[in-house]
């Protein structure tokens, strides 16, 4: 474990799984979250609970898990016209992308994360971006992130590696990865404490966790959990 990592941690299923993945691989891991005026701001309230649960689960993880950083990126919400930053129906836009796409979000997140990482002496950024079970967001694509890795490393005059452990996994495989990393205890942390629902719903408890059950994020999470359970896990 020679590297130190900064995990983009939203409080959701994917970033929680990625955080556990990083804690298995790096000597020191810090986390960063972004308050950007998201409609599902409840995810920000879930972050400390998930971090505490991970520390309680594994003494080794607790020893390696360092500072948590939260940045105010409310300007992004102010200039965005999306269903994630405004109270509007989720639908497809002209061109085929859903209106939950926040233009530039991951580009900004990773750039700000790299700035914090540089100051903290961290050389690896870990994100839950995925090109398998996703909504077609262009800033989640592997090529986008490889290009950004090059740009960040050049701009900072030093290596800044972007790791995306979920890039080629579907949601069923993401559930399975959580089990492989932390057993049933981590799977239960994901079910009970993480938040994915775009509408910010945490009153309805399903087998796969809390959510409205019908937004695109909930549908992906539910379908993946169903396949994970059907596989006998």
Residue 33 DSSP SS3: strand
Residue 39 lies in a domain: yes
State the Cα–Cα distance between residues 233 and 176, nearest whole angstrom: 7
Cross-strand bridge partners of residue 34: 71
Residue 215 lies in a domain: no
What angle in degrees, to the nearest 10, is found between the helix axes of 171-193 and 42-57? Answer: 90
The Cα angle at residue 143 between residues 140 and 149, in degrees rounded to 5: 90
pTM over 0.85? The answer is: yes
Residue 208 lies in a domain: no
Residue 217 lies in a domain: no
Residue 213 lies in a domain: no
Residue range(s) defining the domain that contains residue 112: 4-170
Write the CA distances from 106 to 40, 92, 176, 178, 211, integer angstroms: 17, 20, 25, 23, 23
pLDDT in tens, 200-226: 999 999 999 999 999 989 999 999 999
**In terms of C-beta density within 10 A (0-12 exposed, 13-18 middle, 19 or more buried), how is residue 102 classed?**
buried
- 94: domain CATH number is 3.40.50.620
pLDDT in tens, 171-204: 999 999 999 999 999 999 999 999 999 989 999 9
* Residue 9: band (very low, low, confident or very high) from pLDDT cuts 50, 70, 90: very high
- What percent of the chain shows pLDDT beyond 90? 74
Residue 194 lies in a domain: no
User: b/e map of 70-91 (b: 16 or more CB within 10 Å)?
Assistant: ebebeebbeebebbbbeeeebe
Judge whether residue 90 has pLDDT over 80: no
**178 close to 23: Cβ distance less than 8 angstroms:** no
Judge whether residue 229 has pLDDT over 80: yes
State the Cα–Cα distance between residues 188 and 132, nearest whole angstrom: 24
How many domains does one find in the chain?
Answer: 1
Residue 57 lies in a domain: yes
Judge whether residue 87 has pLDDT over 80: no
Spell out the alpha helix ranges (H) of 127-170: 142-155
Q: Which of 194, 160, 214, 153 is nearest to 33 (CA)?
A: 194
Residue 28 lies in a domain: yes
């Amino acid at each position: 474990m020679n590297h130190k990592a900064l995990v983009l941690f939203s409080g959701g299923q994917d970033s929680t799984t990625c955080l556990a993945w990083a804690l298995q691989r790096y000597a020191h891991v810090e986390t960063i979250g972004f308050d950007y005026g998201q409609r599902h701001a409840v995810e920000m309230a879930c972050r400390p609970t998930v971090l505490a649960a991970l520390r309680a689960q594994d003494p080794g993880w607790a020893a390696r898990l360092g500072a948590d950083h939260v940045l105010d990126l409310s300007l992004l919400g102010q200039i965005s016209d999306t269903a994630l930053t405004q109270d509007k129906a989720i639908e497809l836009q002209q061109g085929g992308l859903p209106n939950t796409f926040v233009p530039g979000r991951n580009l900004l997140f990773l750039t700000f994360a790299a700035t914090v990482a540089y100051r903290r002496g961290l050389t690896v950024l870990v994100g839950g971006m995925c090109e398998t079970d996703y909504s077609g967001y262009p800033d989640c694509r592997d090529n986008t992130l490889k290009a950004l890795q090059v740009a960040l490393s050049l701009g900072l005059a030093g290596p800044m590696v972007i790791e995306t452990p979920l890039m080629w996994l579907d949601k069923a495989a993401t559930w399975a990865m959580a089990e492989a990393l932390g057993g049933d205890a981590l799977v239960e942390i994901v079910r009970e404490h993480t938040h994915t629902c775009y509408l910010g719903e945490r009153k309805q408890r399903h087998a796969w966790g809390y959510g409205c059950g019908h937004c695109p994020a909930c549908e992906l999470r539910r379908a993946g959990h169903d396949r994970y359970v059907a596989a006998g896990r």
